[in-house]
Amino acid sequence: MHRKKMKNSLSSAVLLLLGPLPASSFTSVLPPSPVLVGPRRAVQMSASAATAETYTVTPIKSLDGTVTLPGSKSLSNRCLLLAALSEGSTKVDNLLESDDIRYMLQALDQMKVPVDRHSAESVTVTGQSGPINSPNPEEVCELFLGNAGTAMRPLAAALCMGKGKFVLDGVPRMRERPIADLIDGLQQLGADVSCVKETGCPPVTINANGLKGGKASISGKMSSQFLSSLLMAAPVVDGDVTIEIKDELISAPYVALTIGLMKKFGVNVKIEGDMDGRPKFHIAASEKYKSPGSILVEGDASSASYFIAGAAITGGKVTVRGCGSDSVQGDVAFANVMEQMGATVTWAPESITVSRDPSVRLKGVDVDCGKIPDAAMTLAVAALFAEGPTTIRNVYSWRLKETERMKAIVAECTKLGATVEEFEDYCIIHPPKDNKIKDNVLIETYDDHRMAMTFSLAACGGVNVIINDPGCTAKTFPTYFDMLESIATH
């Protein structure tokens, strides 16, 4: 389909197709610390200049070594919610220690769901054997969820299934992130729920009195989280639930991840049709969550992309531990893209090793990244080191994330010397002449953790890169710069 050109440059040829990945083991855990609502603490780094405002990544010659990934954000918050809805107690290990997980934990605390903290990476949740009800039915329970989409969307759905009055809100950017498609689906099931009519965004207001099941037809074009949220909430409805995608479903691997995790908690989702088309999902009234006893959260595959790309760019050899060929996360397919560009990739069930023969240059590719939108950001920086242009397609969802990622990526790649063509749902990145990256560029991060981590890799071009607000990585990977430094040769 032809898309309207919007501004500035990415090009070459390769279509990335992902099928549902096998459900296997998981990894990640959460900490007992309070939610971060004020200024972040300065990032403490041993090898580069760090202040509360900026952090300088000094020129990187090579990345070599083994890194153990923090737990997956998506899996961590899903595990916590399903544990809360289940019958029995669930020990969740390797929870991600980050802002987004703290927001979910704080919400469970407010709603009096018992959570026993064993460590920063291990908790036990005592399930409610059904929907979560407000602890004070006559009062409005106000939940502040920051910019955590993985808390806002699933909780908005799950709380409609119980009883009570709730208002779910967040930071100013959260009030710009669409949720109307999810609200529409919940209303079709009979929920008394609304968002801001003029914007289609939070705050979300809920007057819950339980639901009896039914059918909903929703859009899957903006975010797969809307479908995942409805699916996770459906088993605590008192009746059968059918959910249909009325147009197309983006980021289908995240839905496969959700369904695989639901199965670990005893619920089977019947799928009718093709996940890449307009599928229907059926959850019978008899399906109820039961604790698996314990669950291990898999390492975050999106976070793996920085180390995988770093090895491909520098020609070093890096092994990421925590996700591999058995992963349930779609973003592991980013390694395939690096292989297409010229890297050597070796797979094991729970790890990925990446290197590149020094005689092989990275080459530009043309990739449909609709199923790996988070990892696709890392491709934008890898493209700066390639021979020829790189085209990143089917990433309209970038515009709806923690920041307007399309414009942010175009702006920062341009600062580093690239020419970027921007279109509605794709971009074409033409690398700088002779792949020479500009030195001492200040990278704006737009309060977006992935912008900070992605653009740190520009230092692999033998230049200093100054990251503004490095503390924004606390959203998913507070120790990122330490981990990068631990395998870097300068």
CB 12, CB 391: distance < 8 Å: yes
| Length of the chain, in residues | 490
| Residue bearing tokens 């390797």 | 94
| Residue bearing tokens 């780094």 | 45
Number of other residues whose CB lies within 10 A of the CB of residue 20? 16
Question: What digits encode the pLDDT tens for the residues 139-149?
Answer: 999 999 999 99
**Tally of CA atoms within 13 A in the half-sphere of 274 that contains its CB:** 6
Burial 275-286 (b: 16+ CB within 10 A, else e): beebbebbbbee
Residue whose C-alpha is closest to residue 208's, from 144, 283, 140, 127: 140
Tokens of 462: 């033998």
Query: Catalytic residue among 366, 368, 374, 469, which?
Result: 374
CB 454, CB 446: distance < 8 Å: no
Q: Within its chain, how far is the Cα of 212 from the centroid? A: 31
Residue whose C-alpha is closest to residue 96's, from 132, 115, 123: 123
Residue 467: is it exposed, middle or buried by C-beta count within 10 angstroms (0-12/13-18/19+)?
buried
CA distance 156 to 140: 14
Tokens of 173: 């950017």
* Cα→Cα distances 250→91, 256, 293, 295, 398, Å: 31, 12, 32, 27, 12
Q: Within its chain, how far is the Cα of 229 from the centroid? A: 14
| Residue bearing tokens 């021979």 | 387
CA distance 42 to 454: 19
Residue whose C-alpha is closest to residue 100's, from 75, 125, 124, 82: 75
Q: Within its chain, how far is the Cα of 349 from the centroid? A: 21
CB 221, CB 247: distance < 8 Å: yes
Structure confidence at residue 52 (pLDDT): 54
Q: Sheet containing 201-209: which strands, arranged edge to edge?
A: 140-144, 163-169, 201-209, 193-196
Q: Which amino acid is it at 194? A: S
Widest CA span of the chain, in angstroms?
Answer: 69
CB 165, CB 141: distance < 8 Å: yes
CA distance 201 to 212: 26
pTM for the model stands at 0.85
CA distance 431 to 414: 9
Structure confidence at residue 276 (pLDDT): 84
Q: How do the pLDDT tens digits run along the chain, 490 residues long? A: 334 344 333 223 222 222 333 332 222 222 223 233 333 333 334 334 334 599 999 999 999 999 999 999 999 999 999 999 999 999 999 999 999 999 999 999 999 999 999 998 999 999 999 999 999 988 999 999 999 999 999 999 999 999 999 999 999 999 999 999 999 999 999 999 999 999 999 999 999 999 999 999 999 998 999 999 999 999 999 999 999 999 999 999 999 999 999 999 999 999 999 998 899 999 999 999 999 999 999 999 999 999 999 999 999 999 999 999 999 999 999 999 999 999 999 999 999 999 999 999 999 999 999 999 999 999 999 999 999 999 999 999 999 888 999 999 999 999 999 999 999 999 999 999 999 999 999 999 999 999 999 999 999 999 999 999 999 999 999 999 999 999 999 9
Residue 419: is it exposed, middle or buried by C-beta count within 10 angstroms (0-12/13-18/19+)?
middle
Is 374 known to be catalytic?
yes
Quick one: three-class SS letters along the chain? Answer: CCCCECCCCCCCCCCCCCCCCCCCCCCECCCCCCCCCCCCCCCCCCCCCECCCEEEECCCCEECEEEECCECHHHHHHHHHHHHHCECEEEEEECCCCHHHHHHHHHHHHCCCCEEEEECCEEEEECCCCCCCCCCCCCEEEEECCCCHHHHHHHHHHHHHCEEEEEEECCCCHHHCCCHHHHHHHHHCCCCEEEECCCCEEEEEEEEECCCCEEEEEEECCCHHHHHHHHHHHHHCCCCEEEEEEEEECCHHHHHHHHHHHHHCCCCCEEECCCCCCCEEEECCCCCCECCCEEECCECHHHHHHHHHHHHHHCCCEEEECCCCCCCCHHHHHHHHHHHHCCEEEEECCEEEEECCCCCCCECCEEECCCCHHHHHHHHHHHHHCECCEEEECCHHHHHCCCCHHHHHHHHHHHCCCEEEEECCCEEEECCHHHCCCCCEEECCCCCHHHHHHHHHHHHHCCCEEEECHHHHHHCCCCHHHHHHHCEEC
Q: Sheet containing 241-249: which strands, arranged edge to edge?
A: 214-220, 241-249, 280-283, 270-272
Question: What digits encode the pLDDT tens for the residues 292-323?
Answer: 999 999 999 999 999 999 999 999 999 999 99
